[in-house]
Amino acid sequence: MTSIQLTHRQLIEKCLNNEVLPRTPVALWQHFPVDDQSADNLLAATVNFQQRFDFDLIKVSPSSSFCLKGWGSEDKWTGNPEGSREYVKFPIMNPEDWKKITPLSPKSGQMAGQLSVLDGLVKTFAKDTPIIQTIFSPLSQAKNLIGRDRLIAQLRLHPEAVHSALKVITQTTINFIEEAAKTGIDGIFYAIQQAQYGLLTEDEFKSFAMPYDLLVLETVQNLWFNMLHLHGDNVMFDIVSSYPVQVINWHDRQTQPSLAEAQKKYKGTVCGGLKQWETMAYGTSEDVKLEAADAIQSTSGRRFILGTGCVMPVIAPYGNIMAAINTARPTK
């Protein structure tokens, strides 16, 4: 069967099954600032992005606040070239405020809007292209309710209060995923931001993150394509490599392990190979081709999806995006 005959879905399925592929799967994703504050605009922007570049999967990228505004977090677009928004109001200011975190309905507010985005994407692409919804881990959500540094202090000084809120955040997240699954998505893109040795100890991560992560991931075991995003430097790869997901994505060009090393530690598929800033945003198309070819060679083109270690900046040039695609699809 030739690459032209394979749909994106079939190619990803074969990749996850460690089969010999006619070409390397490729997927880049980005934020859609301003548009991500409207369900209709986010849907239109995501559809346009996929129709323009025809990636092998669609990673749906709402703003990180889509699941938090019901608890009082506020953010704004300030021009960050990554496309992410800046938090300007944190509802948790003291330990007692964790009690304000009560269950939210997935059918209200921006979460309801996100469900409509997924419904529209599934109706447009799901037959041929896998769709995965971004889900932020409970601890990552807690960080955006109080701020990163204050969260670390709180979990050390007031662990019971933080745990109490994390339980509510976890259940609210599970409730949203259950509704999202009904739209027909193929899995989730599960973003973990605190599995970094510069932030937490292993014991802290295993206490405040891992139990809640596993509860969330248990919810998606009936979905076939779940990707874990491990954010940051000096990451706890060995710990999260035991998580029940099909793919792990991390900043492989800036922190250990390398792609080849990761494939020895982890039996699933790895995703990455391209630097989001130095190469995709500020490099040349030749830089992209060389880095992409190196990544493909280092993995022997097996159990590998070419992408960036994190979200692609919105300023990435068209030519660089096409260079990544054309390196993965040399016959196109």
Candidates 200, 189, 329; CA nearest to 249 is 189
Q: Is residue 1 part of a domain?
A: no
**For residue 126, is pLDDT > 90?**
no
How many domains does the chain fold into? Answer: 1
CB count in 10 Å sphere of residue 116: 14
Per-residue pLDDT, 315: 98
Distance CA 191, CA 136 (A): 5
| 77 assigned to some structural domain | yes
CATH code, 129? 3.20.20.210
**Domain for residue 3, yes or no?**
no
Mean pLDDT of the 120-137 span: 96
pLDDT digits 0-9 by tens, 19-76: 999 999 999 999 999 999 999 999 999 999 999 999 999 999 999 999 999 999 999 9
Which residues make Cβ contacts (< 8 Å) with residue 264, sequence separation at least 6? none
The helix (H) or strand (E) run that includes residue 307 is: strand 304-308
* Residue given tokens 């081709």 in the structure block: 289
In a domain, 151, yes or no: yes
**Residue 9 domain-assigned (yes or no):** no
Locus of tokens 């529209």: 120
Residues 29 and 311: beta-carbon distance below 8 Å: yes
Mean pLDDT over each residue of the chain, to the nearest integer: 97
Q: What percent of the chain has pLDDT over 90?
A: 96
pLDDT of residue 3: 41
Check whether 4 has a pLDDT greater than 90: no
pLDDT digit string, tens, across residues 78-93: 999 999 999 999 999 9
- Residue 1: pLDDT band by 50, 70, 90 thresholds? very low
Among 26, 63, 58, smallest CA distance to 42 is for: 63
By three-state DSSP, how is residue 298 classified? helix
Range of the domain at 48: 14-328
Q: For 273-293, write each residue's pLDDT tens digit.
A: 999 999 999 999 999 999 999
Q: What is the largest CA-CA distance in the chain?
A: 61
Alpha helix segments (H runs only) across the chain? 8-16, 39-53, 109-125, 138-146, 148-157, 159-181, 202-208, 210-219, 237-240, 259-265, 285-298, 318-328
| Res. 130 pLDDT band, cuts 50 70 90 | very high
DSSP string across 95-146: GGGGGG-----TTSHHHHHHHHHHHHHHHHHTTTS-EEEEEE-HHHHHHHHH
Closest CA to 212 of 238, 196, 190, 185: 190
Answer whether residue 159 is part of any domain: yes
Cβ–Cβ < 8 Å for 209, 192: yes
Q: Does position 249 have pLDDT exceeding 70, yes or no?
A: yes
Poorest-pLDDT segment among 43-47, 124-128, 132-136, 255-259: 124-128
Q: Give the confidence band of 207 by pLDDT, cuts at 50, 70, 90.
A: very high
Cβ atoms of 117 and 165 within 8 Å: the answer is: no
**Position 71, amino acid:** W
Q: Is residue 277 part of a domain?
A: yes
With 0-12 / 13-18 / 19 or more C-beta atoms within 10 angstroms meaning exposed / middle / buried, residue 325 is buried
